[in-house]
Chains A and B, each alone.
Chain A
Amino acid sequence: MSDPAPKKGPGLAVWLPLGLFAGFLALVVVGLYWPADREVSSAFIGKPLPAFDLPPASDDRPGLATAQFKEGGKPRLLNVFASWCFPCKVEAPQLAALAEQGVEIDGVAIRDRKEDVAGFLKQYGNPFKRIGKDDLSQVQLAIGSSGVPETFVIDGKGIIRYQHIGDIRQEDIPLILRKLAEAQ
């Protein structure tokens, strides 16, 4: 049955599968061991705060406006929070610790009611100098925050210098302090 006619061997083609396989290996090794940066870094860093003027969210603290950040002076933290947000409760002791070390913190309460904010601050402490009430998340979206809590480092000229996504943990405090120092 078999035709014994001599014919040139398949030549280099027989190495093609091995070559393709080597290419595949190289690709997945790169993908597996040099994973791309998966951190979401904000496009707003280095940009000035957008203009806003929020009414107070609490009876004993003033509201929050962009102008207040541009008065010069030392860098401040801008904390985006809400009374209905569980991680914000977890974050409260860290904010208190930062405030105790002399860090000035402003808050933006997202989609919240005055009485709920008051209850939250009463139960978990109030580290804020000013608290703005952002009922429609307009300011939150304008500064590039996608959730609560988030914390921004704003320098004396009102420029966003750092964005911390999620709650500030105990181990994040040195990082926040460093970012504040860098923003001097």
Chain B
Amino acid sequence: MIAELGLAVLWMAAALAVLQLVAGALSLRPATAHLAGVVRPVAILQGVLVACAFAALIWLFLSTDLSVKLVAENSHSAKPFIFKLAGTWGNHEGSMLMWVTIMSLAGGFVALIEKRLPENTLIATLAGQAFVSLGFYAFLLLASNPFTRLPEPAPEGAGLNPLLQDIGLAFHPPTLYVGYVGLSIAFSFAVGALVTRDVGPAFARAMRPWVLGAWIFLTLGITAGSYWAYYTLGWGGWWFWDPVENASLMPWLAATALLHSCSVLAARNALRTWTVMLGVVAFSMSMVGTFLVRSGILTSVHAFAVDPTRGSFILALLAIYIGGALLLFGLRASTVTEGARFAVLSRESSLVFNNVMLCGILGIVLVGTLYPLLTEAMGVKVSVGPPYFNPVSAVFAIPMMMVMAVSPVLRWREDKGGRITWQVAVPALVSAVALLAVEFIFAPNLLPALGLALAPGLAVASVQPLVGRNLRRTPLPIYGMVIGHLGIAVALFGMASEGAFSTERLAAMNPGDSQQVGPFKVTLQDIGPVAGPNWTALEATVSASYAGAEPTVLHPQARTFANPPGNRTESALLTRWNGQLYAVLGEEGDDGRWQMRFWWKPFVPMIWYGGALVALGGLLALLGRVARDVKRLVAVDKIAYRRERQGR
């Protein structure tokens, strides 16, 4: 009953999306302009209905209704509650329904609150949003119906992939989805603005909170995903340049560029064409990412999400939406009038420079990700890894971070070099001293050395915009920028330190044996079985003593899952302020000794702290912007109310 109800509301929501598209498109003609009044309420209702469908699916998963095919294939009655919930989107159909839900709710929200844009641009935006959602409705209803019943209820469910039964991962996909979908709103705004030829500060201000929101979620998603890979896969690395990681990084790079060009457009009415193009590109990158992950066209650690026919469907959607939008862009871009001019030394030009650098990195990641496809088309099998990505992206990232250090203290429109001598000299000096110190004391490889030098200079530079300000009256978005940039410096320091100072120890140990790992003395004390809710494991008891201090006990595990069968290593981490000890329990050797793997990674958690700081910066900026918008809306309402009363 619940399944049928869910399917019915899903169909109704799809029908409303058709109405939203048709009425929106027709209302742009003067003869049928009265249809515009329909679009907003329809968009809101559509959001509510699809949310009901998603709620129905969650209910089916929570109650483990095994007569529903999707539940039977992906859930199990013995699964803990949280993974029953996460199972809703831990599969293709459910995740697509979640995608449409977030997308339609966001569209409904825009319809409910957006008042700054000219009405016809907003209607065009909502029509564009309906057009994008329709493709996903079609995908769901025609090719991946989540509510299909089995002819006979299954006796028991097949369970969820053990790799996915992890609390961090339960919330990783939804986080990225919110990011991707937020970019779809930016995309619709860009399309709407192109359709009505209305690209200006109002468009940028309407789009900015969505870009910011999407960007915050993407930042969190990537940071959490990186940490998940770090501690679950048991390889000790935090970024593998895996196609799926790249698929999430590319939209982030595009969104970062878009965020900054959006600010220029909002503040200075410059970079009009460029901002619109980035609006299209950012969402394209999320679709490309989804396509690369779902189609299985590139093999990767995420190979569990693969299906070629679904790949074809997403590819078709990609061709229609992105191809269509870029065609529209080509046709309309030359009619968008040029925005305000600016001098070579100005905040605008520094932001343009960094936009180009971000796009450069984006290009490099895209080429590197697709390179195996390119060579395979020519009959050679190649895979591209860190030796390509690290140095080539650094070529763009290093100048970008140098400009990033200076950009916030530059003036809009035109600045004089002499005015900012100190603001440039202080961070440069800090970096130079750091470089010399690092080279003389540790002499690491080139890239980690540059990172260790750049990070402190960037950290100093990022707080400079606060110097000489009244801290109480500084607007929140400025704090957001400062903390976001500081986060980049912190993360950079963590990455460089991990690259420069990590030590690894692989040893076959008997209980009682000890090993020296960096400053730690680790002792394998015991190995024994333990049982969890739906797994059993071999657990090692390891004591680790930092530089002779009181030892701490660690429990790395090798887990075996029964439903479905599978194995997973559960590494154990010991976090100190200055780094992390990472322990993995491996196989038992022929001689009865255990393969143990240890890493000491100085300052490695800084990578994720930095990522969290970047997201926090985004959040402060978003709160600041939203608070100002709300204030303005209230003021506008008050004026309207007064006028109304006076009119009477």
Contact = CB atoms under 8 A, between A and B. Distances in A.
Say which size band chain B's interface belongs to.
35 or more
A51 interface: no
- By size class, the interface of chain A is 20 to 34
6 contacts: A2-B340, A3-B338, A17-B281, A21-B326, A25-B315, A28-B291
A24 B377 CA distance: 13
A25 B376 contact: no
Interface stretch (B108-116, B328-336, B614-622): B328-336
A21 B315 contact: no
A50 B539 CA distance: 46
Nearest to B278: A17
Chain B: interface secondary structure? helix
Nearest to A22: B323
Given A4-B337, A28-B373, A36-B376, 13 more contacts: A1-B269, A2-B269, A3-B338, A10-B334, A14-B334, A17-B277, A17-B329, A24-B288, A25-B319, A31-B377, A32-B295, A32-B312, A36-B377
B464 interface: no
B341 interface: yes
A31 B376 contact: yes
Contacts of A14: 273, 329-330, 333-334
Contacts of B311: 32
B337 A2 contact: yes
A18 B374 contact: no
Nearest to B376: A36
Interface in A131-164: none
Interface string A1-42: 111110101110011011001101101111110101000000
A108 B99 CA distance: 54
Interface-central residue, A5, A24, A25, by most chain B CB under 10 Å: A24
Contacts of B322: 21
A18 B373 contact: no
Given A29-B315, A32-B295, A17 B381 contact: no
A84 to B, nearest CB: 15
Interface in B308-350: 308, 311-312, 315, 318-319, 322-323, 326-327, 329-330, 333-334, 337-341
B330 A18 contact: yes
Interface in B354-392: 370, 373-374, 376-377, 379, 381
Given A3-B340, A14-B329, A27-B373, A21 B284 contact: yes
B280 interface: yes
B297 interface: yes
Given A10-B273, A18-B323, A21-B323, A32 B315 contact: yes
A145 B120 CA distance: 68
A30 B308 CA distance: 13
Interface string B272-295: 010001001100100010010001
B338 A7 contact: yes
A17 B379 CA distance: 28
Interface string B290-304: 010001010000000
A34 to B, nearest CB: 8
Per CB-CB distance, the 7 closest pairs between chain A and chain B, nearest first, are A9-B334, A14-B333, A18-B326, A31-B373, A15-B330, A36-B376, A3-B341
